[in-house]
Amino acid sequence: MIAALRDLGAVLITGGAGYIGSHTAWACLDAGLRVVILDNLSTGVRHAAPPKAVFVEGAVEDRDLVHEVIRTYEVGAVLHFAASTIVEESMVDPDKYHRNNTLNSFRLMEAIASLGGMPFILSSTAAVYAPSPQGRLTESASVDPVSPYGLSKLRAEQLLAGTASVFGFPYLAMRYFNVAGADPLGRTGPSARSATHLLKVAVQAALGLRPTLPIHGRSHDTPDGACVRDYIHVSDLAQAHVHALAHLAGGGASGVVNCGTGRGASVLEVVAALEAELGRALPTTNAAARLGDVAYAVADETKLRQLLPDWTPRYEDLGLIVRSALAWERHMLAHAAI
């Protein structure tokens, strides 16, 4: 175990039955930490939570339950993944996003603060940034979210900074870029039935679970006209959370930090990587650009590497990301879990 984590107690992972939360639960267990998951299963699936983690079905906004969980399991840090996460849905139902991502997150922060506070890590997003022409985004780039989803997360960040400063506990708001892939050991992966993330949809099209992969927008201001994103492997991101906990437990600075690789890949490049892995062409169709989609979002990840010097990403290659996503979807198919 990383030395700074030895006296931390258990880690509360909200949203631990979801995609990134379940990978992080495994990473924490692998690091020797005790894990308690709190999830209302609104999009998560029970079997995604590692069997060794304590699982509590419930909502982050339930203050009494949060207090009970913290006391019962001697929780010493919080990783807050639970949220509503679909950008397009937020354009038509913004209230849902402000309620679940801002208000419910604040209720959780207040519940933690009322017990004196503890290291707190919030899942934030690159969607907080203003659309920018090509160029990597640093944490000081201007924030001006295009979508209610991005705004709901920005407000949660701001509430966290305020609450943490008033009650004196350390925090990080980790701004993920595009999270992709699945656990290389096959223990978890993107398990929700409805998928909107490119790679999950592409892999489903590759396996015949969808007739075609829609390419949303071919005339963006990017080199090949398709959206460019920074894809970070979910297991590298999960591991970054373990190091982020150690950073905070060891007295490291609070603040916001980008989580990406610093390299962009266009939708067409992701499709090409998948086709190379499959050895055949993928059925694609051109579709309208999606509401709330920006053309280009790539991280400047310098701060992440400075903050977490011992964190070494292992799956940065797009081919590895694609391979793990394909393996997981085949596993789901074989187990009829879709």
Ligand X SMILES: NC(=O)c1ccc[n+]([C@@H]2O[C@H](COP(=O)([O-])OP(=O)(O)OC[C@H]3O[C@@H](n4cnc5c(N)ncnc54)[C@H](O)[C@@H]3O)[C@@H](O)[C@H]2O)c1
Backbone phi, then psi, for 256, in 5-degree steps?
-105, 150
Q: Is 69 in the site for ligand X (CB under 6 A)?
A: no
CA angle 191, 31, 322 (to 5 degrees): 35
Radius of gyration of the chain (CA): 19
Q: Is 19 in the site for ligand X (CB under 6 A)?
A: yes
Residues 10, 14, 112, 293: which binds ligand X (CB under 6 A)? 14
The least distance separating ligand X from the CB of residue 297, rounded to whole angstroms, comes to 10
Only segment of 34-42, 130-138, 275-283, 304-312 that touches ligand X (CB under 6 A): 34-42
Only segment of 32-40, 133-141, 159-167, 310-318 that touches ligand X (CB under 6 A): 32-40
User: 149 an active-site residue?
Assistant: yes
Q: Which residue's CB is nearer to ligand X, number 72 or number 219?
A: 72
Q: Which residue's CB is nearer to ligand X, number 124 or number 222?
A: 124
- Residues 202 and 282: beta-carbon distance below 8 Å: yes
CA-CA-CA-CA dihedral for 244, 135, 86, 211, to nearest 10: -120
Q: Is 56 in the site for ligand X (CB under 6 A)?
A: no
Only segment of 41-49, 212-220, 318-326, 329-337 that touches ligand X (CB under 6 A): 41-49
- H/E segment holding residue 162: helix 148-167
Q: Which residue's CB is nearer to ligand X, number 107 or number 330?
A: 107
Q: Is 192 in the site for ligand X (CB under 6 A)?
A: yes
Q: Which residue's CB is nearer to ligand X, number 61 or number 301?
A: 61
Q: Which residue's CB is nearer to ligand X, number 125 or number 254?
A: 125
Length of the chain: 338
Residues 90, 102, 125, 239: which binds ligand X (CB under 6 A)? 125
Q: Is 4 in the site for ligand X (CB under 6 A)?
A: no
The least distance separating ligand X from the CB of residue 180, rounded to whole angstroms, comes to 7
Q: Is 18 in the site for ligand X (CB under 6 A)?
A: yes
* Residue of 117, 124, 170 whose CA lies nearest to 4: 170
Q: Which residue's CB is nearer to ligand X, number 59 or number 244?
A: 59
CA-CA-CA-CA dihedral for 325, 223, 282, 328, to nearest 10: 0
Instruction: Name the residue type at position 259.
Output: C
Q: State how far the Cα of 21 lies from the Cα of 215, in Å rounded to an integer.
A: 28
Q: Is 105 in the site for ligand X (CB under 6 A)?
A: no
Beta strands in the chain (DSSP E): 10-14, 35-39, 54-57, 75-80, 120-125, 171-176, 178-180, 213-216, 228-229, 231-233, 255-259, 265-266, 284-287, 296-297
Count Cα neighbours of 212 within 13 Å in the Cβ-side half-sphere: 8
Residues 6, 42, 47, 95: which binds ligand X (CB under 6 A)? 42
> Residues near 194 by Cβ (< 8 Å), separated by ≥ 6?
none
Residues 71-90 that bind ligand X (CB under 6 A): 81-83, 85
The least distance separating ligand X from the CB of residue 63, rounded to whole angstroms, comes to 12
The active-site residue, picked from 149, 171, 176, 315, is 149
Q: State how far the Cα of 59 lies from the Cα of 98, in Å rounded to an integer.
A: 16
Instruction: Name the residue type at position 249.
Output: A
DSSP string, 129-151: BPP-SSSPBPTTSPB--SSHHHH
Task: Count residues near ligand X (CB under 6 A).
Answer: 29
Only segment of 175-183, 274-282, 283-291, 325-333 that touches ligand X (CB under 6 A): 175-183
Q: Which residue's CB is nearer to ligand X, number 55 or number 283?
A: 55
The least distance separating ligand X from the CB of residue 58, rounded to whole angstroms, comes to 7
The DSSP secondary-structure symbol of 5 reads G
Please list the active-site residues: 149
Give me the residues that bind ligand X (CB under 6 A), please.
Answer: 14-15, 17-21, 38-44, 59-61, 81-83, 85, 100, 104, 123, 125, 176, 178-179, 192
